[in-house]
Structure 1
Amino acid sequence: MNMDYGENMSYNDCAVDGYCSIDPIMYSLMEVLLYELKQITYYYIKMQELGYENKALKSRIINYLSLILIGYEFNREEFQALLKEIHKEKESVKEAYTAFCDEKNMDCQILKSNIKFEKFDLSSIVNQGEQQAIRRNSSLSADVKNLYEIILNLIKSASIRLIELKCYTEDYLPEEDGILKLFNNLNFSAMTESKLIKKVNDFAQINYQIHKKLHVFKEEYYGAIGLHDVSIGVEKGKSILVSGQNLKDLENLLEAVKDTDINVYTHNGLIVAHAYPKFAKYKNLKGHFQMSMDSVQYDFTTFKGPVLVIRNFQYLLDKLYRGRLFTTNLIAGKGMTRIEKNNFKPLVDAAENSQGFDRDHSIAQVKVGYDEELVMQKVDKIIEKIKNKDIKHLIVVGLLNHAAMHSQYFDVLEENLSDDHYVITTVIPSKKENILYFDSFFNSSLIYKILSHIKKHVDLDKFPVSVFITTCNLHTMSHIFNLKYLGINSIYLPECTSNIITPNMLKFLKEKFDIKQVSDDPKKDLKNL
């Protein structure tokens, strides 16, 4: 079994399992959620400009923004309650702003509200959400709509990482204000294309800083990343599977079960936990479970115990295993049990009452993490070769681990690589002198460190560097602009499914940001670098 594990692995269940459709009711409710969030953000920023700060409200807005990346169907009753809460908060901050303007005799701009909440009725709100979507789509040009979509995607991705970052610090984070200011731009339909492009490019620095800070804080909290072997498989006994992105949620669960015999396994991108020393102390953390590289659905149905979907899980879920799913998210999905205030007893009870595994089953051993000192020693040698003009073009492959469908492409690329081109990769196991391969499944963090280090010593405006993003997921747009911020102007995407990057969006990225897509001909792509 050829298994690739990456920090942000994303295998599109839409493509594999056919769950591409979006519940039209939830789509309309989500439209209302975005509309209300835009307005509450506007009034929050206005009050902030007047000297009033509400940290709790700011934090809640960031949390609300992260919800729109969740791939499962919300519990409608909980979602309706959330909409009511957001609307109430919006009206409260709006009233405070209006009262201040009246008191100071200021001419303040109040946003027109197209959503009426006088009588909160599901049918009425859904219809208004549909109408709002029509108004939004009809009032914007195609290019501006694409830029709005890019901004929204960047905001969602940044919010997810910022929420995790705030698990490790209570300090003021200026990136919070950066997210809200960018989001507030969506309130103004008159914003020109050129201004929006500038906003996107300016936000790239904020987005990258969030990614960088999160990495630093996690290393301070969990210990420096090291290179470790991770067991893929299961041991005999009662078990819990944990899937998602938030390491703090995993830690909280491990603390809750440390005096039990329940085995805990990471799933998908959560494999990165095994790279941190602190997680090694938990005897219950047995390894990583993943039977399929194509379907989260299959993994969940074959796991013989409950599944904990931690914050910012990103995949579409079926109904086959509802009743065995638990979540730490702000809103549970249908059939899920929500874990509140770190009370994991319902989850532990479900594990104790589950079938469990009746025998050990080992699939593979993989490496996760990296030896940073060794990595940088090798990168320094590459920098020297660049300075000596022994390398004419640097190619980085593997910001995210590539899916099996791309392996043949990179085999051909390797065979046709010229001597004055050099490849740094975490996905092409090669012993060629001009290919530096790191056997690591923690590669977005590693690649960013490498590129940042190279940038300190090499003028990337003059020296060509190409990066191949080898898997698409809901953070792909974020990675594109992180790379552009680092000075990478030649970025290649694989073929992404339309629920990640639509053909129209890909065309727009090519035209406006010079993003490229790999072709069916690696030789041609090498020639055109």
Structure 2
Amino acid sequence: MDGKMFCFQCEQTAGCKGCTGENGVCGKSFMVANTQDSLTQALIDLSLSLNGKEPNDNQRRLMLEGLFTTITNVNFDCEKITALTKEINSQFPNTNSEDTYSDHSLQLWAETEDIRSLKSLILFGLRGMAAYAYHAAMLGYQDDKISDFFFEGLRAVGNPEANMNGLLPIVMEVGKVNLRCMELLDKANTETYGTPIPSTVSLTVNKGPFIVITGHDLKDLKLLLEQTEGKGINIYTHGEMLPAHAYPELKKYGHLKGNFGTAWQNQKKEFSDIPAPILFTTNCLMPPKHSYSDRVFTTGAVSFPETIHIDEDKDFTPVIQKALELGGYEKDVEFAGINGGKEVTTGFGHATVLSIADKVINAIKDGQIKHIFLVAGCDGAKPERSYYTNFVKLTPSDSIALTLACGKYRFNDLDLGTVAGIPRILDMGQCNDAYSAIHVAVKLAETLNCSVNDLPISFVISWYEQKAVSILLTLLYLGIKNIRLGPSIPAFMSPNVLTYLVENFGIAPITVPEDDMKDLLKQA
């Protein structure tokens, strides 16, 4: 490796063009980036080598783990990535486990600009979808049609003769299959942990030992709750784990106390001096500072060389011991959200919202609710992301703001009151719960006998990593138009591909909140 990398898969890539030096903005080194590229090419090569044949269960498992491992802020451990690549190599037809196939330089970067752009949309969409499929699989829910599409999509990425006309339908197919995948995950979560119910979550940390758990994996949280029950240790969610407070099978644990901190990009500041360990269950790990790296634990696909990794046995004893050793705070400590709020609400999933569908529809018909804004997606460190706070503050008093994913931390502690007896901010969950927002929009359209584009609803999306890409492709597959996307347009979209999306779907970059609000209300 020559000490250089190339990566433009996340929103915060250097100069909005691509990370090309020794380290990426996310914190991964060129060695990690290049090792991930090798892993990706190995998956592509495996897909091509199967030549359309049905993969076996082990190959499906490796595909999920491999794609998930390459999502931004998941794995920074070259040894673990290399080991996974070697395991994938052993699955090639007519080879044995001793073959290494070490020359897996990612051929995608050599494509022409438009082909590279479309193939990147497919690849990054598949990575995002793999995260959803991975979480569903952890709960025993799998769909071979979804699993096999990963191989089909990567065959398109690896096809040297692919052209724009051939790739565009695959891009839309990613969105279609991702909708099915998100529905599967929704089913897995609700059948395992119950239907989410609206819940108020405190931001105060009680005195005594505690553990902060972050990420998306509800199964890991359930296991941690079971292993800490009766030990005098409180559990606090962080980041995308906040919606766990709405699931009945998790709420029943009295020591699941509240939420600590805000979104992923603030963790270096928020974790720097807390007297407690932090357990990372999925993506959104930032390379920890040395000042708290001894308190960071990872599990599943997440890994960082300087932290303790909890293996597949999911024995969280080291985390528990660290919590007891550190002891927590000597007295209750009151924290607040970005806007000063002392508590937040969550749990407004599709079942809850649709249970009052008649109320919402009647309020729309009689003019009490004139607009619905879906302000959702990833958070990030750029100052421009204050746009989303200011935008929600500008939403009219006769409107509702639906939200999900970690972008909600920009405004979820605001008190905007109610409209027609309904809270004006409805948190539908984490990015894994994007299906809820889509399902509500589709069902409202069906009830009103119109298309989603005819509803008084606007989509204002913030993106950072690959799950947001897969959600965007699902919205496009459903024909949803006039989406506002920010804080910047993905660097992997070439001018021609962006023009296609603008002309066919009306995608536009965010500008300033006041102008965008006027424009969106005018379109309603």
**What's the TM-score bracket when you normalise by the shorter of the two chains?**
0.7 to 0.9
Gaps of 5+ in 1: 1-9, 97-115, 119-124
Q: 1:317 to 1:149 in 2, by over 3 A?
A: farther
CA distance in 1, matches of 2:36, 2:250: 36
Amino acid at match of 1:481: L
Equivalenced residues, count: 473
Amino acid at match of 2:185: L
Q: Which residue of 2 aligns with 1:275?
A: 246
Q: Which residue of 2 aligns with 1:452?
A: 442
Q: 1:314 to 1:293 in 2, by over 3 A?
A: closer
Q: Which residue of 2 aligns with 1:327?
A: 298
Q: Cα distance, 1:279 vs. partner? A: 0.8
Look up the SS of the partner of 1:483 in the other structure. Answer: helix
Instruction: Confirm or deny: 8 A CA contact 2:346 2:428 kept in the other structure.
Output: yes
Amino acid at match of 1:376: L
CA distance in 2, matches of 1:343, 1:247: 16
Q: 2:429 aligns with which of 437, 442, 451?
A: 442
Instruction: State how 1:196-207 maps to structure 2 within 5 Å.
Output: 196-207=167-178
CA RMSD in angstroms, aligned pairs only: 3.6
Gaps of 5+ in 2: 1-9, 16-23, 336-341, 380-384, 404-410
Q: Which residue of 2 aligns with 1:467?
A: 458
Q: Which residue of 2 aligns with 1:405?
A: 387
Q: Cα distance, 1:170 vs. partner? A: 5.2
Q: 2:275 aligns with which of 301, 304, 310?
A: 304
Instruction: State how 1:18-417 maps to structure 2 within 5 Å.
Output: 19-20=25-26, 22-44=28-50, 46-48=52-54, 54-71=56-73, 74-90=76-92, 93-95=93-95, 117=100, 132-133=105-106, 136-138=108-110, 140-169=111-140, 172-290=143-261, 295-313=266-284, 315=286, 317-330=288-301, 332-340=303-311, 341-363=313-335, 364-370=342-348, 375-376=353-354, 378-380=356-358, 383=361, 395-400=372-377, 404-412=386-394, 414=396
Q: Which residue of 2 aligns with 1:111?
A: none
Amino acid at match of 2:458: V
Q: Which of 427-436 and 486-495 deviates more? A: 427-436
CA distance in 1, matches of 2:422, 2:112: 45
Amino acid at match of 1:442: G
CA distance in 1, matches of 2:368, 2:329: 52
Instruction: Confirm or deny: 8 A CA contact 1:460 1:487 kept in the other structure.
Output: no
So what's the TM-score if we normalise by structure 2? 0.79
Instruction: Confirm or deny: 8 A CA contact 2:113 2:494 kept in the other structure.
Output: no
CA distance in 2, matches of 1:503, 1:55: 32
CA distance in 1, matches of 2:11, 2:64: 26
Amino acid at match of 1:228: S
Q: Cα distance, 1:251 vs. partner? A: 0.9
Amino acid at match of 1:409: F
Amino acid at match of 2:446: K
Q: Cα distance, 1:162 vs. partner? A: 0.5
Instruction: Confirm or deny: 8 A CA contact 2:195 2:351 kept in the other structure.
Output: no
Q: Which residue of 1 aligns with 2:481?
A: 489
Look up the SS of the partner of 2:90 in the other structure. Answer: helix
Q: 1:484 to 1:258 in 2, by over 3 A?
A: same
CA distance in 2, matches of 1:13, 1:318: 21
What is the aligned-residue identity percentage? Answer: 20
Q: Which residue of 2 aligns with 1:109?
A: none
Look up the SS of the partner of 2:471 in the other structure. Answer: helix
Q: 2:471 aligns with which of 458, 467, 479?
A: 479
Q: 1:302 to 1:244 in 2, by over 3 A?
A: same
Q: 1:203 to 1:264 in 2, by over 3 A?
A: same
Q: 1:383 to 1:365 in 2, by over 3 A?
A: closer
Q: Cα distance, 1:371 vs. partner? A: 7.5
CA distance in 2, matches of 1:303, 1:13: 30
CA distance in 2, matches of 1:28, 1:68: 11
| 1:329-361 C-alpha deviation (Å, 9 max, x unpaired) | 246212111111112122222222224211111
So what's the TM-score if we normalise by structure 1? 0.78
Instruction: Confirm or deny: 8 A CA contact 1:492 1:517 kept in the other structure.
Output: yes
Amino acid at match of 2:437: I
Instruction: Confirm or deny: 8 A CA contact 2:236 2:257 kept in the other structure.
Output: yes
Instruction: Confirm or deny: 8 A CA contact 2:218 2:244 kept in the other structure.
Output: yes
Q: Which of 351-360 and 181-190 deviates more? A: 351-360
Task: List 4+ stretches of structure 1 deviating above 6 A.
Answer: 10-15, 388-393, 432-436
